[in-house]
Amino acid sequence: MPTYKITISGQVQGVGFRPFVYGLAKSFSLTGTVSNNEEGVIIFVTGPKISIQQFYKKLLQNPPPVSKIKNSKILEVENMEFADFNIIPSVKSGQINLPLTPDFAICDDCKKDIQNLENRRYNYQFTTCVNCGPRWAITQTFPFERNHTTINDFAMCDECKKEYLNPLDRRFHSQTNTCHTCGIRLILIDKMGNTIPTTSENIFKKIAKLLSEGNIVAIKNTGGYLLCCNAENAAIIKKLRIKKNRPNKPFAVLFPSMEFLQNDLKINELQHKSLTSAERPINIIPLGNYKGKIALNAVALGLNQLGAMLPYSGILQLLANELNFPIIATSGNIHSSPIIGNNEEALEKLKQVADYFVQHNLEISHPQDDSVVKFSAKFNQKVFFRRARGFAPNYFDIQINSEEKVMAMGADLKSSIAFYPNQYLYVSQYLGNLENFDVYNRFTSTVNSFISIFEQQPEVILVDKHPLYQSTQFGKELAQKNKLKLVEIQHHKAHFSAILGEHQLFSEKVLGIIFDGTGYGEDDAIWGGEFFDYEANKIERINHIDYFDWLLGNKMAKEPRLSLLSLTSDEMMEVLKDKFTQNELKTYQSLKKTNKLKTSSAGRLFDAVASLLNITDYNTYEGEAAILLENSIGLYDLKSYRSYLSAPKKGISGTEIIKNIYADLKSGTAKKTIIINFLYTLAFAIIELAKTKNYKQVAVSGGVFQNTVLADLLIALAPKEIKLYFHKELSPNDENISFGQMMYYLNIRQ
């Protein structure tokens, strides 16, 4: 009988692929072996040719639920005889050339196990199987085998070994298999480090009681610490805000169950699917006629939306089983610092925040924040706000043909790195703002971790053109130290390249709209409202939001009133009087007259509108003014709105927009109407420019396009002959810059 070698690549390690292949081969009475190697899964099968063909077809059509097959090959080889079909240990003979496995949310079967009194894993918080559990969080190297993870510190007991070796068991070759007897220990301590006596039977009851009594509890989850408190208790949430130094930014809320969530919030089918997916991200959901007991004004100050999530680990599920109220579940850090994964660091840095700590003795190699998504109200356009747990560090839908090993350092504000060391592209989880020392350390350790895991040094380093970016400086130092090729790429061209890369538009003619807060321009101005042409591997800037004064450096991004001052004409001076002292006004007006630094920033235009409408004059977190603007809209109908530009085909004048908004404000037009008019103006100008210049493909990127109303307006206004492209697997914000730098370097003629 013939023997065939089958090679499967993609997300096929740590997902139960080998046990699945074993069971399938047995069902077709085939003999052979299956193993992992540095490139994926390798299968040898001997048997009737027709049986092997059917086996191969079924394998590709119905793979394990959390696997993602990218490539497969079947090739007849010299005949091999096998006594049976077996899973054999992985043999690594070269560098890693396969996707890294992300973390998966607890599956329904494991959820049943931990809730079943008769099951030996009843109340065991680290219950996992081949279909779920931490992966990237505990990875030290690949291929994905137990001895390449931090869970290797816990030797399997006899019962776990039986499951591991039993082909009929769901935990057959489950690399994260543990139980009460041999597994990870959970302890409860106070902020002084004193142990609170508990047992596995009552620890979650105790934690739930502490939360109900108004305590803040830092819980070490599978991907890092979460700071938790009762979401119905406004006083304790306010206390958490003060201690975490997070005055206004909304908190995510963990609901005990989908039933509880649906009693409080109205969700659609896409949101339901997202909330219960293997990735289990936070979903930003409109509140509508909310009737629950959450202290909304404390959780999401003045907002008409809520970041909602469901339990995604055994720890959170067992806690949820004891709760009859939702809880805040925010990243375990001080505001703007990275999420903490280490016990000692958590106690040291969070003891001024948390009253109690839930700790365990599993080491977390790669701490990650929760991912965040939102679906637009009218057209369900999916927008990533943060790409981390469950999605990182892979990027699948890309075909790259390059001999060079390339690493992209990304931006500074919402940093990530991208690495192309083999046939796959890896984009790290969201890392944070590199101005924070701890985030910078996490950034550099992630760079080193990627180099170590793949055992490959980059040959090319890509950086942003901004000379003061921490990522740029680090990239330059790395290139200089190792004598590597260094390439600087303009920020907004990287954004445009990211959206071109996501949709593989490099053979098309495309109009690119890149709207964000700031980026170092090629003419020494601060860019942020850019129109690009892409054709034949070249990017050309063809238009931009009309320049206005950039005042007081980074202070302008934190004070929307400064953007308003910059865009205000002399006849509008009255709107500034209550926003500045006389001294400030005199100084800033004088500065405005002599200022030479200009900007085209769409983000600052949003700030100016928010200030003019007295929504906010100060941003306490990045993008606050824009979020509050969108929040003020509610339901709307396209038919009754108009543009604030007299000649939208020619471009966008922030000065004209502000002048016309001021006129509407004076005439008593409702704020909601003004905001829709403003967003309509931007969408209308984009579509008109595309029509005027005969573009059939329009691609958008930049943090401004996290505004889902703007996305819906673009979709509504675009005629049939114009196709719009939004990011689908990446955030439109600066998280995509590393990916965009990679796409620019590999596809654009510099």
Which residues participate in catalysis according to the annotation? Answer: 18, 36
Helix (H, G, I), strand (E, B) or coil at 680: helix
Residue 104 near residue 390, CB atoms below 8 Å: yes
Residue that has been written with the tokens 């193993």 in this structure: 35
- Residue of 5, 19, 6 lying closest to 64 (CA atoms): 19
d(CA 144, CA 149): 8
φ and ψ of 7, to 5 deg: -115, 125
Within 8 A by CB and 6+ apart from 210, the residues are 217, 355, 356
Torsion of CA 399, 404, 405, 411, to 10 degrees: -80
CA angle, 705 then 706 then 708, to 5°: 90
- Residue of 353, 362, 457, 472 lying closest to 406 (CA atoms): 457
| Beta-bridge partner residues of 331 | 226
- Residue of 564, 565, 573, 566 lying closest to 608 (CA atoms): 564
Helix (H, G, I), strand (E, B) or coil at 242: helix
Residue 575 near residue 568, CB atoms below 8 Å: yes
Helix (H, G, I), strand (E, B) or coil at 118: coil
Tokens of 343: 């016990």
Pairing of strands 217-220, 68-77: unpaired
φ and ψ of 698, to 5 deg: -125, 125
- Residue of 376, 369, 397, 217 lying closest to 281 (CA atoms): 369
Tokens of 12: 């096929």
Pairing of strands 252-254, 305-309: parallel
d(CA 372, CA 208): 25
Residue that has been written with the tokens 């080889």 in this structure: 77
Element (H, E) at 332: none
- Residue of 659, 657, 675, 561 lying closest to 608 (CA atoms): 561
> What phi-psi label fits residue 552: left (phi over 0), alpha (psi between -120 and 50 degrees) or beta?
left
d(CA 610, CA 619): 10
Helix (H, G, I), strand (E, B) or coil at 460: strand
Helix (H, G, I), strand (E, B) or coil at 420: strand
CA angle, 649 then 653 then 657, to 5°: 105
Q: What is the DSSP string of 562-616?
A: HHHHHH--GGGGGGGTTTS-HHHHHHHHHHHHH---EE--HHHHHHHHHHHTTS-
Give the number of other Cβ atoms within 10 Å of residue 553's Cβ: 10
| Beta-bridge partner residues of 35 | 42
Residue that has been written with the tokens 């209550």 in this structure: 578
Residue 575 near residue 658, CB atoms below 8 Å: no
For residue 164, the Cα-to-chain-centroid distance in whole angstroms is 33
Element (H, E) at 42: strand 40-46
Give the number of other Cβ atoms within 10 Å of residue 274's Cβ: 20
Q: What is the DSSP string of 669-729?
A: --HHHHHHHHHHHHHHHHHHHHHHTT-SEEEEESGGGG-HHHHHHHHHH--TT-EEE--SS
- Report which DSSP code applies to 652: -
Find the largest Cα–Cα distance for the chain.
Answer: 92
